[in-house]
Amino acid sequence: MSELEFVSPVASGPLSAAGGGISLEDVSDRTKVLVRAGRDTAAGTHLKVTYGRSRRRRDGALICGSRPDEWTLLADPGQGTELLASLPDEGFVSVVDITHGRAMFRLSGLDTVGVLAKVCNIDLTDDMTPDGAVFSGSVAKVTCDLVRNDLADRRSYLVSCERSFGAYLFAAIADACSEFGIDVPADLTIH
């Protein structure tokens, strides 16, 4: 799968508000690898992250504890083969490159909580979802996996969903951003 050219489900480029309060970027081309394994397997021990948390590995891959006994690894585009090879596969372990099956967006800026609060029912306060938190929930009626992955100077979330919902979800989040200063292109309107 990794050798296939990646075609994003989203046709639009990054969107950002003039004041810098919010930006929305399609990062669907990032490598995504799903691991299912018992915590007592070599893979579970290697990944080490509990459900609901994430950590950055030395090679730059972000390891997310996306469900009990399930992890999602996120890395730069084209890293699928390397990621798959880096994981121990002894025991009852499933490792699948899901890069082409998932869409992913990065929402960042001061107004991210305000935008997500319009379309998501998760409590986004720092004590419930601090930097590094991994959680799932409905975003604009689409079941999504979210990672709070703050950048150096601003709050940021990675939002991923099934690829087939990608175009709709990008447009729906862009629509929610319009209240915070983003000019939504005409081809992204959902009304």
Partner 1 sequence: MIVVPCPNCGPRNSSDLRNAGEVAPRPDPETASLTEWRSYLYLRENPAGWVTETWYCRSGCRRYFTIERNTATNEIRESENS
Coil, helix or strand at residue 23: strand
Rule CB under 8 A: say whether 94 interacts with partner 1: no
Q: Is residue 51 at the binding interface for partner 1, with CB under 8 A as the rule? A: yes
Residue 67 sits in the site that holds partner 1 (CB under 8 A): yes
Give 61's DSSP letter. Answer: P
Q: In terms of CB distance, is 75 or 142 closer to partner 1?
A: 142
- Rounded to a whole number of angstroms, the minimum distance from the CB of residue 143 to partner 1 is 5
Strand order in the sheet with 15-16: 15-16, 23-26, 102-108, 156-162, 142-148, 134-139
Q: Which is nearer to partner 1, 51 or 168 (CB)?
A: 51
Q: With the C-alpha atoms ordered 156, 162, 163, 168, is the resulting torsion angle positive or negative? A: negative
**Cα 17 from Cα 9, distance rounded (Å):** 23
Between 134 and 171, CB nearer to partner 1: 134
CA dist., res. 42 & res. 143, Å (int): 30
Nearer to partner 1, 52 or 181 (CB): 52
Q: By CB under 8 A, tell whether 121 contacts partner 1.
A: yes
Report 131-160 residues binding partner 1 (CB under 8 A): 135-138, 143
By the criterion CB under 8 A, which residues form the site for partner 1?
Answer: 51-52, 67-68, 121, 135-138, 143
